[in-house]
């Protein structure tokens, strides 16, 4: 006979996991506030505005790619034996579409900057663009990790990514790279995140 956990022990485990996830979410919020607090103070109003616009446009592009795959990867891995094959197909499609979208942003950076009437926006956009496919791939890997029940690992990846972004931003901005350096920090942290996410998601191209 298989031993079954008592209701009290199971309830305690659920509460413990919930508290860990809540603590992880709070840490993510604190780190995120730390990033924007530092950048808003060090960059100044105009440069911080350029960074913010570039960052939001990058998030929009990443979310657009994420909508294509959505949560289907998590469901397929959790519920189907061919989930890994499905996730690999989604990863390849995301990589191709992400690279194409990043290329469009890089080529049209000056045109986008002109549309926003901010010529200095072009530089941050070009540095934020490489992070678009990386962040989109990281999203798919995180969904794969969730499908395998690795919820805490998913939160840990977000914390690690934000910590990396903060450290890279401090280093680049203090070196005089300005808004472009802050944007590059986003792409660098996305690259670090995808390395960890691929390991935890267990799916490759």
Length of the chain: 205
Residue 71 class from Cβ within 10 Å (0-12 exposed, 13-18 middle, 19+ buried)?
exposed
128, 189, 198: which is closest to 160 by C-alpha?
189
Instruction: Please tell me the distance from the alpha carbon of residue 37 to that of residue 95, in angstroms, as a whole number.
Output: 32
Select the more confidently predicted residue: 22 or 119: 119
Instruction: Please tell me the distance from the alpha carbon of residue 136 to that of residue 62, in angstroms, as a whole number.
Output: 5
81, 194, 82, 189: which is closest to 143 by C-alpha?
194
Instruction: Please tell me the distance from the alpha carbon of residue 165 to that of residue 58, in angstroms, as a whole number.
Output: 15
How high is the pLDDT of residue 71?
Answer: 64
With a pLDDT cut of 70, the percent of the chain lying above it is 79
- Structure tokens belonging to residue 97: 């579409």
Cβ pair 109, 122 in contact under 8 A = yes
List, for residues 26-64, the tens digit of each pLDDT value: 777 887 788 888 888 888 888 989 999 999 999 898 888
- Structure tokens belonging to residue 177: 């790279």
12 pLDDT exceeds 50? yes
Q: What share of the chain is helix, strand, coil (3-state, %, to 5)?
A: 85, 0, 15
Mean per-residue pLDDT, 175-184: 90
How high is the pLDDT of residue 1?
Answer: 46
Most confident of 20-24, 75-79, 172-176: 172-176
List, for residues 63-108, the tens digit of each pLDDT value: 888 776 656 777 677 777 777 787 788 888 888 989 999 999 999 9
Instruction: Please tell me the distance from the alpha carbon of residue 205 to that of residue 203, in angstroms, as a whole number.
Output: 7
Q: What are the C-alpha distances in Å from 188 to residues 16, 45, 135, 162?
A: 33, 24, 10, 11
Other beta carbons within 10 Å of 196: 19
How high is the pLDDT of residue 11?
Answer: 66
Which residue carries 């996305």 as its tokens? 190
Instruction: Please tell me the distance from the alpha carbon of residue 154 to that of residue 156, in angstroms, as a whole number.
Output: 5
4 pLDDT exceeds 80? no
Instruction: Please tell me the distance from the alpha carbon of residue 147 to that of residue 151, in angstroms, as a whole number.
Output: 9
């Amino acid at each position: 006979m298989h031993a079954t956990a008592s209701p009290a022990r199971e309830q305690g485990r659920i509460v413990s996991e919930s508290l860990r996830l809540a603590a992880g979410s709070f840490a993510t919020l604190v780190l995120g506030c730390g990033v924007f607090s530092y950048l808003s103070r060090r960059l100044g109003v105009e440069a911080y505005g350029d960074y913010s616009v570039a960052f939001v446009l990058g998030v929009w592009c990443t979310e657009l790619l994420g909508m294509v795959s959505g949560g289907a990867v998590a469901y397929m891995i959790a519920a189907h034996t061919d989930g890994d094959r499905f996730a690999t197909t989604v990863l390849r499609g995301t990589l191709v579409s992400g690279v194409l979208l990043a290329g469009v942003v890089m080529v049209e950076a000056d045109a986008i900057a002109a549309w926003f009437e901010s010529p200095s926006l072009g530089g941050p956009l070009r540095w934020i663009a490489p992070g678009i496919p990386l962040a989109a791939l990281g999203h798919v890997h995180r969904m794969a990790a969730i499908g395998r029940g690795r919820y805490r690992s998913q939160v840990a990846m977000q914390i690690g990514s934000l910590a990396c972004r903060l450290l890279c931003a401090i280093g680049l901005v203090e070196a005089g790279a300005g808004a472009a350096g802050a944007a590059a920090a986003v792409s660098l942290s996305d690259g670090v995140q995808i390395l960890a996410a691929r390991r935890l998601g267990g799916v490759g191209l």
